[in-house]
Amino acid sequence: LVVLHDISQLLNTSLTREQLVTCVALIESGVNPEALAAIIKDLRQSAETTRQESTTPARISRSEINDV
């Protein structure tokens, strides 16, 4: 696992040791590695989108301001 984590760090996967252990266990139990990688990428993109949406201020139209 140490070598796998070192390789993971060299490839900038940003996976923790715990996450790597989980991925290895899933792959050993028969999960398709390519499908697992695709899911991880999708989850990261969704998380980034959510972060961006939560930090972007809401835009208020002039009509909404005039209604106040």
Conformational region of residue 30, where left means phi above 0, alpha means psi within -120 to 50, and beta covers everything else: left
pLDDT digits (tens, 9 = 90+) for 7-44: 999 999 999 999 999 999 999 999 999 999 999 999 99
| Domain ranges across the chain | 2-53
Predicted TM-score (pTM) of this structure = 0.69
The pLDDT of residue 1 is: 82
